Amino acid sequence: MRRKLVVGNWKMNGSHAANAELLAGLQAEGPWVAEVAVCAPFPYLAEVALSLQGSPIAWGAQDCSAHESGAYTGEVGAAMLAEFGCRYVIVGHSERRAFHQESDQLVADKAKAALAHRLTPIVCVGETLAERDAGQTTAVVKRQMSAVIHTLAHCISQVVVAYEPVWAIGTGKTATPEQAQAVHALLRAQLRAASEHAGDMKILYGGSVKADNAASLFSQADIDGGLIGGASLKAGDFAAICRAAS
Ligand code: PEP
């Protein structure tokens, strides 16, 4: 039985005061049966780590470099994140694929860099609305996943996958539990062909998950929790989603 995982993606939101209030609120609401983590902007990671010391809530970053170190101005290496206790790193979020032209191979290389430093990459895949309408959902998510499978080979079972249909992110439009489950099942089948441990891998759903739709999504056979954007910024809302996963 896979333990559910709920990860908050704060995106480019937060401040010293807002983060302190959010983390205090969350710690007062927990703990939960599900595993819970928050992924904060880089400048706040150290203070998030400090606030969460001794807490069951894990923390992570929203991106990392594919490179080990060197002349890559503005980038943050996986080794740097690992050095002060980071657990997760999101790679291939659709906002990075769209706004920073991240290719499938770059995302795979970032996942590899993360694993090399014992961070757990949360690899995001998902189709745009135009791709869904053109009947390309399966081809797109399989292509995105395939780059990661080929790059990581037998290490693929160490990643967390997040299926995030681009049309559902921040739009208030959620995939129905059946739509999401159908894609999760095909991702699981693809992972099964690559790893005997695919049955133990977590595949999260992301895209306008809220307290009132979380339970029905999380009840699907291949949905092992959620990657939560907007609703992770309010302790009460995020805690309700964590409860729905428990
Ligand atoms: C996300 O940013 O990964 C996300 C799923 O956002 P939202 O929950 O706001 O749709």
Q: Which of 183, 190, 241 is nearest to 211 (CA)?
A: 241
Q: How far apart are CA 116 and CA 112, in angstroms?
A: 6
Quick check: CB of 126 below 6 Å from ligand 1? no
> Which of 102, 127, 131, 164 does the annotation list as catalytic?
164
Q: How far apart are CA 144 and CA 104, in angstroms?
A: 6
Of all residues in the chain, the percent with pLDDT exceeding 70 is 100
Residue 184 designated active-site: no
CB proximity list for 190: less than 8 A, separation 6 or greater: 142, 145, 146, 149
Which residue's entry shows tokens 């995939």?
A: 175
Q: How far apart are CA 9 and CA 60, in angstroms?
A: 9
Contact 209, 216 (CB under 8 A): no
User: What is the band of 1 on the pLDDT scale with cuts at 50, 70, 90?
Assistant: confident
Residue range 100-157, pLDDT digits in tens? 999 999 999 999 999 999 999 999 999 999 999 999 999 999 999 999 999 999 999 9
User: What is the band of 84 on the pLDDT scale with cuts at 50, 70, 90?
Assistant: confident
Q: Whose CA is nearest to atom 7 of ligand 1?
A: 229
Overall average pLDDT of the 184-194 stretch: 98
Q: Which two tokens stand for residue 54?
A: 């001794």
Q: Could you tell me the pTM of the whole model?
A: 0.97
Nearest-atom number in ligand 1 for the CA of 226 is 5
Quick check: CB of 6 below 6 Å from ligand 1? no
Contact 61, 42 (CB under 8 A): yes
Quick check: CB of 34 below 6 Å from ligand 1? no
Q: Whose CA is nearest to atom 2 of ligand 1?
A: 229
The H-assigned helical ranges of 195-245 are 211-218, 235-244
The predicted pLDDT at position 139 comes to 98
User: What is the band of 58 on the pLDDT scale with cuts at 50, 70, 90?
Assistant: very high
Q: Which helix (H) or strand (E) holds 203?
A: strand 203-206
* End-to-end C-alpha distance for the chain, whole angstroms: 13
Q: How far apart are CA 214 and CA 237, in angstroms?
A: 11
Residue 164 designated active-site: yes
Q: How far apart are CA 105 and CA 122, in angstroms?
A: 15
Residue 89 has pLDDT above 90, yes or no: yes
Nearest-atom number in ligand 1 for the CA of 232 is 8
